[in-house]
A and B are shown apart, each in its own frame.
Chain A
Amino acid sequence: MEVRQALLDKNDRLAERNRGFFRARGLLVLNVLSSPGSGKTAFLRETIRALGKQLKAGVIVGDLATDNDARRLRESGAPVVQITTGTVCHLEAEMVARALKQIALDGLDLLIIENVGNLVCPASYDLGEDLRVVLLSVTEGEDKPLKYPPMFQSANVVVVSKTDLAEACSYDREAALANIRRVAPNARVFETSAKTGRGMDTWREFLVQKQQERKTQNPLSL
């Protein structure tokens, strides 16, 4: 008996449904991924601050437990919904769909989904996002992209975070960028520091431009 059905078919279908919903609202959606502790929450809080009134952002944040990240993100003034996954190591499209009911989407331009800190499983789960943003902090070692290729391969954007610590941990910038290029040759790379604000302007302009494209152009061109 022929079946020919993808095992993650159900998630993929729900992700497409999310995508249609987001596009109908003209929302730009980011799925933000990294290992635990690479600075996703600080980076996103500063991103929302940098955007100011230019783009109104909302956040869905996933963790196994606690709402600490949601509280930290709320300091930016944005609406935040926390998903606690229990023992699940990644977010799935269906969890996002449920969280959407708890967030006031009217007036939002940008929806940021902060995934569970994990460089393995979340790579396989489409959430319906426009852009996959993968963070690599300078403290993690330049070869992270080579150790976790599926995650970096799936990235549209790679953000190098905590560049203020580069010197303290003898970060080899050339090696790190070469490794990112090797695994994700088409990804846009931003080098940032949430602490000093370095690189946040370029990143903000990129988001504003992508949001405009989302609103004005063919939805498939992004």
Chain B
Amino acid sequence: MQGALTLALEKTRQAGASRVHVIHLRIGALSGVVPDALQFAFEALAPGTPAENGRLAIENVPARFWCATCTREFQSDDMFAECPDCHKPSGELRAGREMELASMEID
């Protein structure tokens, strides 16, 4: 969270803004990041910064896997995803590990 806030504040400064209202993060279901922990960390870190009265909006990105046998994508929040058609485990994660600063509302 420290990294996310540092990046957000840097972008805010670069944009010549002084207030951060909302920070939008995109967090993958399998990123290993716990959204509640991010919220907690944000509340601990934001005071005294331009994000003091702002809030954190977290968009959860579902995990999507690729099945090479059936040549199709499927969605699963299970780390050990199996293709719903052929039931083979998928070794290829196509989305779901994101940790991204998507956008901000600043002025």
A residues adjacent to B (C-beta < 8 A): 1-8, 120, 123-124, 146, 149-150, 153, 181-186
Residue contact A7 to B4, C-beta cutoff 8 Å: yes
B79 in contact (CB, < 8 A): yes
B residues adjacent to A (C-beta < 8 A): 3-4, 7-8, 11, 15, 30, 32, 79-80, 88-91, 93, 97-106
For residue B89, which residues in chain A have a CB less than 8 angstroms away from its CB?
Answer: 181-182, 185
Provide the bound-state CA to CA distance between A146 and B89, in Å: 13
Please classify the interface of chain A as helix (H, G, I), strand (E, B), loop, or mixed, using the class held by over half of its residues: mixed
A1 to chain B, nearest CB (A): 5
Provide the bound-state CA to CA distance between A4 and B61, in Å: 14
Closest residue to A151 on the B side, CB-wise?
B32
| Known contacts A120-B32, A124-B32, A183-B80: A153-B101 contact under CB 8 Å | no
Closest residue to B27 on the A side, CB-wise?
A7
Give 23 CB contacts A-B under 8 Å: A1-B11, A1-B15, A1-B103, A3-B11, A3-B102, A4-B100, A4-B103, A5-B7, A5-B100, A7-B7, A7-B99, A7-B100, A124-B32, A150-B30, A150-B32, A150-B79, A150-B97, A153-B79, A181-B89, A182-B80, A183-B79, A183-B80, A185-B89
For residue A149, which residues in chain B have a CB less than 8 angstroms away from its CB?
Answer: 79-80
Residue contact B101 to A146, C-beta cutoff 8 Å: no
The 5 closest A-B pairs by CB, nearest first: A149-B79, A186-B91, A185-B91, A7-B99, A3-B101
Residue contact B100 to A6, C-beta cutoff 8 Å: yes
A107 to chain B, nearest CB (A): 36
Closest residue to B106 on the A side, CB-wise?
A1
Residue contact B32 to A6, C-beta cutoff 8 Å: no
Please classify the interface of chain B as helix (H, G, I), strand (E, B), loop, or mixed, using the class held by over half of its residues: mixed
For residue B99, which residues in chain A have a CB less than 8 angstroms away from its CB?
Answer: 6-8
Provide the bound-state CA to CA distance between A1 and B24, in Å: 10
Other A-B pairs beyond A8-B99, A182-B80, 16, CB < 8 Å = A1-B106, A3-B11, A3-B101, A5-B100, A6-B99, A6-B101, A7-B3, A7-B99, A124-B32, A146-B80, A149-B80, A150-B32, A153-B79, A153-B93, A182-B89, A184-B91
Residue contact B103 to A3, C-beta cutoff 8 Å: yes
Residue contact B105 to A5, C-beta cutoff 8 Å: no
For residue A3, which residues in chain B have a CB less than 8 angstroms away from its CB?
Answer: 7-8, 11, 101-104
A144 to chain B, nearest CB (A): 13
For residue A182, which residues in chain B have a CB less than 8 angstroms away from its CB?
Answer: 80, 89
For residue A146, which residues in chain B have a CB less than 8 angstroms away from its CB?
Answer: 80
Provide the bound-state CA to CA distance between A8 and B99, in Å: 8
For residue B4, which residues in chain A have a CB less than 8 angstroms away from its CB?
Answer: 7
Residue contact B103 to A2, C-beta cutoff 8 Å: yes
B42 to chain A, nearest CB (A): 13
Tell me which of A4, A153, A186 contacts B102 (CB under 8 A). Answer: A4
For residue A153, which residues in chain B have a CB less than 8 angstroms away from its CB?
Answer: 79, 93
Provide the bound-state CA to CA distance between A139 and B90, in Å: 28
